[in-house]
Structure 1
Amino acid sequence: SYRLRFHLAPPLLARRDPATGVPRKRAFGAWVLPVFRLLARLKGLRGTGLDPFGWTAERRAERALIGEYEKTVD
């Protein structure tokens, strides 16, 4: 027999390691498969104002880097 385990650090649920500041990963069981399917269906929202993960500090920094890169290339 086997068990599915997904080790994730979701931005809205992950606690940060006090020493490093890096989000800690948590193990999730097979119950997250329907959640993954739902997220796949919501793929069209990526990059829009309705993107639930688009407002984290990491995603904002990524968008700023893209803009900086585009200015450098032009």
Structure 2
Amino acid sequence: MSETGVYALEDRWDDHRVTLAYRPWDGGERREVFSTDKMAGYIEPRGGIVSAGYLREIESFALRPGWDGGAQ
């Protein structure tokens, strides 16, 4: 939560996608901050090998203020 809105971590099992979204308190539009499909090249499984049926897991994440007041 922030003074201007709330950040929500959304999990979609149908395509194994995790998204961090921002929703402002004033009723403005939902904004996608990042999504694992956009970060697929940066998320590496343990052992460095992606086998068929392997699910990538996010164990933790952190946010920091961005230059425009948003999250990075």
TM range (shorter): under 0.3
TM-score by length of 1: 0.24
The structure whose residues are more often helix, as a share, is 1
The structure whose residues are more often strand, as a share, is 2
